[in-house]
Amino acid sequence: MNANANEPIEPHGAEQIEYLVKAVQAGQVEHYRGIVLHFQRKLHLYCYHMTGDRAESEDIVQEVFLKAFREIGKYRPTVSFSAWLYKIAYRHCLNSLKRHKGQHRLLSLIKLQWPSAPSPRTAETADHLLTGLSPEDRQLIILRTLEERSFAEIAELTSVNAVALRKKFERIRKKLRNQTRKEILDEGLFPGL
């Protein structure tokens, strides 16, 4: 653990993050830098994949860190700080999606999770496939596939049972795979299928 907030920051474990949070709550605000450095890239990727807009996600991450700093005194370790922070990020992403009517691409998500999606028009296909997903479904897909979080971690973050999340994830995956197959057949991309 670095005692000086200006020294290079190593990736932190949950205990180290809780230590930094307690230090900030005690008035040692310079330790907030370590929290920001630890979560900044992960939150940016999460917000980018939730909204599909790089500039918007950068703004959201700044808003999340500002809100978390202002509200850090209210944080209690009944859930991990990471889960608490991601709940703030999720709410900000939802607000952004509502403002922009939810027409955002999650192209890299489709490439990672469903590599068999048609490549000639992958962007349009991704938009089309994801149009029907709710923000909650997007969140589940992003946290599981891009963040590589366990269902137990996602359950902590969302306050939903891990078993229910696993079932929901499989239903979403099956739905998107079926839609992909239907698109391929309907558009005649692969005659004879």
Helix (H) or strand (E) holding 73: none
Distance CA 19, CA 17 (A): 5
- Shared-domain flag, residues 149 and 75: no
Q: What is the mean pLDDT of residues 34-46?
A: 94
pLDDT value at position 176? 78
pLDDT value at position 173? 85
pLDDT value at position 118? 44
Examine residue 21 and state whether it is found in any structural domain, yes or no: yes
Please state the pTM of the whole predicted model. 0.60
Total number of domains in the chain: 2
Tokens of 71: 């509200």
C-alpha angle with apex 68: 29 to 150, nearest 5 degrees?
A: 115
Check pLDDT > 80 for residue 67. Answer: yes
- Shared-domain flag, residues 53 and 122: no
Q: What is the pLDDT of residues 135-190, one digit of tens each?
A: 888 888 778 876 788 899 899 888 899 999 999 999 988 887 777 776 655 554 43
- Shared-domain flag, residues 19 and 68: yes
- Shared-domain flag, residues 113 and 67: no
- Shared-domain flag, residues 86 and 12: yes
Examine residue 77 and state whether it is found in any structural domain, yes or no: yes
Question: What is the domain range of residue 88?
Answer: 1-103
User: Where a domain ends, among 49, 68, 103?
Assistant: 103
- Shared-domain flag, residues 97 and 166: no
Residue type, 38: H
Q: Nearest to residue 79, comparing CAs of 169, 167, 17?
A: 17
Examine residue 193 and state whether it is found in any structural domain, yes or no: no
Q: Which residue would you say has higher pLDDT here, 184 or 84?
A: 84
pLDDT value at position 39? 95
Domain of 83, CATH number, reads: 1.10.1740.10
- Shared-domain flag, residues 17 and 78: yes
pLDDT band at 2 (very low <50, low <70, confident <90, very high): very low
Check pLDDT > 50 for residue 9. Answer: no
How remote is the C-alpha of 128 from its chain's centroid?
A: 20
